Structure 1
Amino acid sequence: MLDTCVVGAGPNGLTAAVELARRGMSVAVFEARDTVGGGARTEELTLPGFRHDPCSAAHALGVNSPAFNAMPLDRYGLEWLHAPLPMAHPFPDGTAAVLSRSVAETAASLGPRDAVAYRRLVAPFLPRWERLARDFMALPLTSLPRDPVTLARFGLAGLPPYPWLARRFRDDRARALLAGLVAHVIAPLGGFATSAVALVFALAAHAGGWPVARGGSQAIPDALTRYLADLGGEVHTDFEVKRLDDLPPARSYIFDTSPDALARIADLGRYYARYRYGASVFKIDYALDGPVPWTAEAPRRAGTVQIGPGSGDIATALLDASRRGHAPEAPFLITTQPSVVDPSRAPEGKHVFWAYGHVPPGWRGDLTDAVERQVERFAPGFRDLVLARATAGPPELAARNANYVGGDIACGAADGIQLLLRPKVTLFPYATPRPAVFLCSSATPPGPGVHGMSGHNAAKAVWRRLRATG
C-alpha cells in the first residue's frame, strides 16, 4: 500500500508529492495528459522552433515561493532568467510606468507627485518580505506566523478594496499600474482584499523579480518530476482517474484538481456546491519576425507588459468580463515577451509573445482584433511582425486543462471572501469529508499562480494526519 496517491501533475500536485517523499513516504502521481505540467507547460503552438507557454509564463510567485526555494530545483534543470525590468505599463503619451527591482526607479516612473507615496507604501514590508511571504502564503493556520506584527500590519493595508489604496496617489499613472496588478487575479477592482493583491505583486517584483524559466515554464514541473524520481516517487502519465477505485490502495489521496472534479471522483455529493468559478481569458500566442515595436522605451526591456491606458479603463474591462457578461471592446491586456531574456524560445532574430484579455466564462467569440488593436496603440507596426498566431478562448482553455472550469485559469473566482478562504470558509481548506482525501489545487490557499504553496500546505496537512494515525 502506498502512503499517498496524487491526482494531477501540475506544480501543486508535484510539490505535494515531493514534500511527502522528502519525509520518506511512498508516493505516486497520476496525470491524465501525456506530459506533466498543468498550467506550466511549454509547446510549439505556432511554428517549429517557437516555444510558447500556453498559460503561465512569468513567475513572480514562483521565484518567491518558500516551497520552491526550499528545494534544489536548480540541480534538476530550473534556471530563472530576469529581464532588465520585471514589468512595464505604457501610456498613450509615449511614456511608461515600471515595476522595477529598484523601489526608487519604480517610484520615479510614477511621477514626482506620487513617488514618496509609493515608497511609503512598500517600505514597511520589503525588508521583511521573506517572512511575510512565508506567513501570507501559508495561511490559513498551517503554521504559526513567523512575524505576526508585520502580517497584521500587512492585513490592515491589504484587506481594504483597491479604491482605498488608490486614494494614496494623486495621478493616474500609479493607480493604473496598481489596478493592472490587481487584474492579474481576474477580479473586479472594488473587491475585498484587492489592495493585498497589488501589494503582493509589487513586493514580489522588488524582492525577487518576475522571471521566466529558461526554455519555458515546462522547466518547473520537469524539475519537480526529476527531483521526485530521485526521492523514490513515481509519475504515471496518460492515466485518467474517474473514480477513487481507479487508483491503487493508499493511506491518503491528494487531488490537484478542481473541487467539482474531486467531488465527482470521491463521491462527495454537493460538498463544494457553493464554490464559484470566475471570468476567463482569451489568449493569443504569437510567433514574431522581431521584437515588439513599443513606442515607449521601458516595455522593450520588460518581461511583462500591462496594457490599459488608465485605471478606469481597466476597471471597465474587468466589470464587462466578470459582471456584465460581455467581452470588453477595449480589453485590458497582460502580455509577456520571454524571448527578451531567453533567446532559446525562438529561432535567431525571431521572438515569441503572448497576450490575453478577460472575457466571460464559456465565451465563444474571437477577441483577436480587439487585442491587436490595443497592442498597436502602444506598439505601432506590431501586426506587420506576426508570422503566426495561436488563439485559445474559454472552451479551448478548458479542453487543455480540466482545472480551468469554463476557462477560468484561476480554478475559481478570486474575489470576495473566496480570494482568501477557498474552497470553503474553514480553517482546514485542504481536508474533505473523507478523512483520507485532500485537495491541493489553486482552489485552495494561497490560490492561483505557479508557486506550489497549495501543494506544500496540503502535504503538511496529510503528514499530520498520517503521523497521527500511525
Structure 2
Amino acid sequence: MTPSPTSRGSDEAEVAIVGTGPNGLAAGALLARSGLRVHLHEAAEEPGGGLRSARLFDSSVRHDICSAVHPMTASPFFRRFGPVRDGVRMHTPEISYAHPLEDGEAALAYRDLSETSARLGEDGPGWHRLMRPLLDHTGRVTEAMLSDLRRPPSPRAALLLAERMLRHGTPLPTGFRGAKAPALFAGVAAHAGSAPPHPAAAGVGLLLGHLAHAGGWPIPEGGSDRIAAAALDDLLAHGARVHTGQPIDDLRRLRSARAVLLDVAPRGLLAMAGELLPDGYRGQLERYRYGTAAAKADFLVSEPIPWRNPEISRAGTAHLGGTADRIRAVERATARGERVPDPFTLVSEPGNLDPTRAAPGKYPVWAYCHVPNGDTRDPVETTRRRIEHYAPGFSETVLESSGTSAARLEEYDANYPGGDISTGAVDLLQTLARPAWRLVPHSTPLRGVYLCSAATPPGPGVHGMCGYWAARAALRREFGVRELPPLD
C-alpha cells in the first residue's frame, strides 16, 4: 500500500508532515485540499501508523496490526471526510461490546439502548438514565470530547459530561446496584489505560459507551488499512507526495517548508529538535508521562471463539476483566508496574462480521492486554488463558499465534513509547496540558512547527482530530487561511 510519489508544480514542500498515522493523514488531507504542496515522511516502509493490516499466517486471512474497531470514526473529521465516510465500507455489529462474567453470564451493549437496558435487569433504568441524554445530544457531546480545548463546548454537553465524569470517575456512588452495569462501564472506561476511578477514564467511557448506542462500533471491510488507503488516495489526488522508509532524525532537514506538522510522540520531537527548543518547553516534554502499555496477540483459529455465552460472538469487541472491582484492582496494579496474572484484555473477531477477512476453517482473532510500560513478555500465553477462561476449548482451535510485547510495540511504532498506545498517560491534568502548557496546544516555540499526534488534544483514538486541529492552527497562523476547504 505504498503510493508512488506524485506532485503538482514545484517539488519544494510548503508543508512537511512527519508520520502517516491517522492524525498525520487528517492534517495532510486538510492542508492539501487547501491548495498547499504537502510532503509526508514516514519512517516505516508502509504508511498508516496504527492503521495497518497484514496477512500474518495465511494468505487468505488479514489481521489488523494495531487498531481494529473504530467507534471514533464518528468524529467531526471523519463525518465530513468523504473518501472514508463514503469510500470505506463499514460492518457494524448488533452488539457493540460484550463483557463476559462468570458462569456464562455477560453484560451486553447493544446498539439499541432500550434492549441494552432491558437486559441489564435492576440496573437497566440506571444505564438508560446514564446514556439517553448523551445520545440525545451525541453531536455536541462528541464535539466536546474531541475538541482542541480552546473552544468551549455547548453548556448542555458540558453539564452532561461533567456530572457523569464526577459520578463515574470518583469514589462517589454510581447509583448501580447489580454487577452487570458497573462491569459494562468499567470495561469501556478501561480503554483509557488509567488507574481507576478517574474522571478522564470516565470521560473515555462516556464517549465510547454512548457511541455504542449511536453509530455503533464498526470495523472496516478488509482491514483497518483501508481507512489509511482511502486517505492516502485523496492526498495523492490533491498533489501530495508520500516518502516512506525515510525517518526524520533532525528537524533542520525540513527547514525549507513554511509549516512542519509532527505526528510524533514528545520523545520524537525531543530527538529531532532537542537543542533547538527553549529550556522551559523542553523540560515540559521531558517530564511528560507515558502510561500503561498494551501487548498484542494475534491468533489464527479453526472456528469462531467458543464463548461460554454464545451471544458474545455477535459483539464486535469483548472486554475480559471480570467485575468492576476486579478491573479497578488489576488496572491500578498494572499502572504501578506490577505484572498481574489476569490483565485486562480486549478481543475482537473481525471474521464474524466481515467475511472477506476469513477463509473456511481459518479465522483471525485480534487481542491485546494491558501490561506495565516497557514490559518485555510475550503476551500470547497470557492472552490465550484469558480467552480460555471465558471460552473453554479455545486453545484447541488455535492454528497459529504470534505476540508483540509492549517493548516491541514501540519498535514497531515510535509513537507508542514503552508500548503506550495512547502516546501519554490519560489523566485529568495531562489531558488539560497535553503535552505542555500552551495557549495554542498544538503549537511549539519553534516558528511554523506543530505537534499533531495523540500527545495533543483531544488525545488517543482513530479520530483524526489531533491532526485536524493542528492543521487548522497552521493554516491560520502560517498561511493566513481562515476558510477551510470542503472535505466531501
TM-score by length of 2: 0.91
SS at match of 1:266: helix
Structure 2 letter corresponding to 1:378: Y
Structure 2 letter corresponding to 1:136: M
Tell me which residue corresponds to 1:447. Answer: 459
1:346-385 mapped onto 2 (5 Å cutoff): 346-385=358-397
Q: Is 1:15 the counterpart of 2:26 in the alignment?
A: yes
SS at match of 2:57: coil
- Aligned equivalent of 1:58, options 66, 69, 72: 69
Structure 1 pair 76–222 and aligned structure 2 pair: CA distance change class (3 A):
farther
- Aligned equivalent of 2:131, options 122, 145, 153: 122
Tell me which residue corresponds to 2:353. Answer: 341
Structure 1 letter corresponding to 2:210: L
Structure 2 letter corresponding to 1:120: R
- Aligned equivalent of 1:33, options 40, 44, 61: 44
1:67/1:453 contact within 8 Å kept: yes
Structure 2 letter corresponding to 1:12: N
Tell me which residue corresponds to 2:108. Answer: 98
SS at match of 1:38: coil
Distance, in Å, in 2 between the alignment partners of 1:103 and 1:317 is 29
TM-aligned CA deviation for residue 69 of structure 1: 1.3
Structure 1 letter corresponding to 2:92: H
Distance, in Å, in 1 between the alignment partners of 2:173 and 2:396 is 37
Tell me which residue corresponds to 2:95. Answer: 85
TM-aligned CA deviation for residue 76 of structure 1: 7.6
- Aligned equivalent of 1:388, options 386, 400, 420: 400
Distance, in Å, in 2 between the alignment partners of 1:253 and 1:420 is 23
Tell me which residue corresponds to 1:411. Answer: 423
- Aligned equivalent of 1:133, options 112, 123, 142: 142
TM-aligned CA deviation for residue 78 of structure 1: 1.6
- Aligned equivalent of 2:313, options 300, 303, 315: 300
2:297/2:379 contact within 8 Å kept: no
Tell me which residue corresponds to 2:410. Answer: 398
TM-aligned CA deviation for residue 23 of structure 1: 1.7
Q: Is 1:330 the counterpart of 2:339 in the alignment?
A: no
2:334/2:340 contact within 8 Å kept: yes
Structure 1 pair 263–161 and aligned structure 2 pair: CA distance change class (3 A):
farther
TM-aligned CA deviation for residue 135 of structure 1: 2.8
1:160/1:193 contact within 8 Å kept: no
- CA displacement, residues 384-405 of structure 1 (integer Å, 9 cap, x when unaligned): 0001001011121011001111
Distance, in Å, in 2 between the alignment partners of 1:395 and 1:180 is 24
Q: Is 1:149 the counterpart of 2:156 in the alignment?
A: yes
Structure 2 letter corresponding to 1:308: G
Tell me which residue corresponds to 2:334. Answer: 321
Distance, in Å, in 2 between the alignment partners of 1:326 and 1:149 is 40
SS at match of 2:130: helix
TM-aligned CA deviation for residue 287 of structure 1: 0.5
2:71/2:215 contact within 8 Å kept: yes
Distance, in Å, in 1 between the alignment partners of 2:421 and 2:201 is 18
* Runs of 4+ in structure 1 over 3 Å off: 74-77, 163-166, 467-470
- Aligned equivalent of 1:185, options 192, 216, 222: 192
2:261/2:452 contact within 8 Å kept: yes
Tell me which residue corresponds to 2:222. Answer: 215
TM-aligned CA deviation for residue 356 of structure 1: 1.5
Distance, in Å, in 1 between the alignment partners of 2:294 and 2:152 is 36
Structure 1 pair 75–211 and aligned structure 2 pair: CA distance change class (3 A):
closer
Q: CA RMSD in A?
A: 1.9
Structure 1 letter corresponding to 2:288: Y
SS at match of 1:5: strand
Q: Is 1:202 the counterpart of 2:202 in the alignment?
A: no
- Of 314-323 and 387-396, the range deviating more from structure 2: 314-323
Distance, in Å, in 2 between the alignment partners of 1:337 and 1:426 is 41
1:165/1:195 contact within 8 Å kept: no
1:160/1:194 contact within 8 Å kept: no
- Of 207-216 and 263-272, the range deviating more from structure 2: 263-272
Distance, in Å, in 1 between the alignment partners of 2:243 and 2:102 is 50
Tell me which residue corresponds to 2:4. Answer: none
Distance, in Å, in 1 between the alignment partners of 2:173 and 2:44 is 43
Distance, in Å, in 1 between the alignment partners of 2:382 and 2:108 is 24
- Aligned equivalent of 1:421, options 422, 433, 438: 433
Tell me which residue corresponds to 1:262. Answer: 269
Structure 1 pair 144–190 and aligned structure 2 pair: CA distance change class (3 A):
closer
Distance, in Å, in 2 between the alignment partners of 1:383 and 1:447 is 36
- Aligned equivalent of 1:282, options 281, 286, 295: 295
Q: Is 1:230 the counterpart of 2:224 in the alignment?
A: no
1:263/1:270 contact within 8 Å kept: no
TM-score by length of 1: 0.95
Structure 2 letter corresponding to 1:376: E
Structure 2 letter corresponding to 1:4: V
1:263/1:271 contact within 8 Å kept: no
SS at match of 2:286: coil
Structure 1 pair 76–42 and aligned structure 2 pair: CA distance change class (3 A):
farther
Tell me which residue corresponds to 1:464. Answer: 476
Alignment coverage as a number of residue pairs? 465
TM-aligned CA deviation for residue 415 of structure 1: 2.1
SS at match of 1:55: coil
SS at match of 1:287: strand
1:245-256 mapped onto 2 (5 Å cutoff): 245-247=252-254, 249-256=256-263
2:183/2:324 contact within 8 Å kept: yes
SS at match of 2:283: coil
Structure 2 letter corresponding to 1:101: R
Distance, in Å, in 1 between the alignment partners of 2:172 and 2:143 is 23
Identity %: 38
Distance, in Å, in 2 between the alignment partners of 1:91 and 1:299 is 11
Distance, in Å, in 1 between the alignment partners of 2:481 and 2:216 is 42
Structure 1 pair 390–369 and aligned structure 2 pair: CA distance change class (3 A):
closer
- CA displacement, residues 268-287 of structure 1 (integer Å, 9 cap, x when unaligned): 24341121001112211010
TM-aligned CA deviation for residue 358 of structure 1: 1.0
